[in-house]
Amino acid sequence: MSLRRFTIATAIAALVAAGLTAASPQAQAATAVPRFDHIVLVMFENKANSQITSSSAPYFTALAAQGAKFSQSYAITHPSQPNYIALFSGATQGVTSDSCPKSFTTANLGAQLTGAGLSFTGYSESMPSDGYTGCSSGTYMRKHNSWVDFSTVPAASNRTYASFPTDYSTLPTVAFVTPNMCSDMHDCSIGTGDTWLRSHLDGYAQWAKTHNSLLIVTFDEDNSLSLNHIHTSFIGQHVTPGTYSEKITHYTVLRTIEDAYGLSALGGAASVSPITDVWS
């Protein structure tokens, strides 16, 4: 064998041994969270992971199959409100009920992002107007809108879902989306929420796959019968599709978002590791 042929053969053998070939240049997972141009997180209500099935929620399951589905995802507590606050600030802030209003000056994801020169907006379906601080209006409930509880998040970041852009490139760095009390499955069926997700966010989900962006789909809590085991999935560019079995919580999701932008981990997020095994 000539020296040139020997060198090529040796190089190919080394690639094979490392699990890499010319056909799979990115076979190894990334070790850090990518810095996304946009992250959109949408939160649904009060359903256990076991209730979100291919028959009850065909779009949820089909969408999860396009990305990373977390089979061991858990909420923090009951009832709803402290879970929203925990995901946004790294702690329940002592909240144990759905009573309204709440007001905090503590650190939170929205303030972290703006402090780093990035942007945050929360979009709430059926909220009557941008900047609204009332406790309820029709099918809108402030208890599901955590960002309005923090004085360090400007009123301009509290917007109606009608303001959600159709040009996804104009989205803020991070956006949280809260469907109304029917669309989020709280007062209406799983099928209603399934249709809402497909109708309202499939366009973004498909766009995200080729635009360095991410969609996070999750729930506030379960049906109080399944140890707070909830559905969570990530869909977008850099996501390696599959089912992942590590235990994650709302704090893990917060930590992952913070790591994407080099932000300090808040509260309970500091005691967990970010999700790194799903990225390619």
pLDDT digits (tens, 9 = 90+) for 171-202: 999 999 999 999 999 999 999 999 999 999 99
What are the Cα distances from residue 173, in Å, to 37, 79, 213? 6, 29, 9
Interval 6-53: pLDDT, tens = 344 444 344 334 333 333 333 456 789 999 999 999 999 999 999 999
Interval 152-162: pLDDT, tens = 999 999 999 99
Interval 196-246: pLDDT, tens = 999 999 999 999 999 999 999 999 999 999 999 999 999 999 999 999 999
pLDDT for res 31 = 83
What is the CA angle 51-238-40, rounded to 5? 55
Strands 248-249 and 242-244: unpaired
pLDDT for res 30 = 74
* Three-class SS state of 100: coil
Amino acid at site 60: F
Interval 75-122: pLDDT, tens = 999 999 999 999 999 999 999 999 999 999 999 999 999 999 999 999
Strands 233-236 and 68-70: antiparallel
- The whole-angstrom distance between residue 198's C-alpha and the CA centroid of its chain comes to 16
pLDDT for res 71 = 98
List of E strands, the chain: 38-44, 68-70, 73-74, 120-124, 136-137, 140-141, 158-160, 174-178, 213-219, 229-230, 233-236, 242-244, 248-249
Query: Please, are residues 254 and 216 in contact by the beta-carbon 8 Å criterion?
Result: no
What are the Cα distances from residue 232, in Å, to 31, 72, 196? 21, 9, 17
Q: Which two tokens stand for residue 32?
A: 């850090």
Concatenating the DSSP letter of every residue in 28-68 gives: SPPSS----SEEEEEEE-S--GGG--TTT-HHHHHHHHTSE
pLDDT for res 28 = 55
Query: Please, are residues 185 and 42 in contact by the beta-carbon 8 Å criterion?
Result: no
Q: Which two tokens stand for residue 261?
A: 């932008």
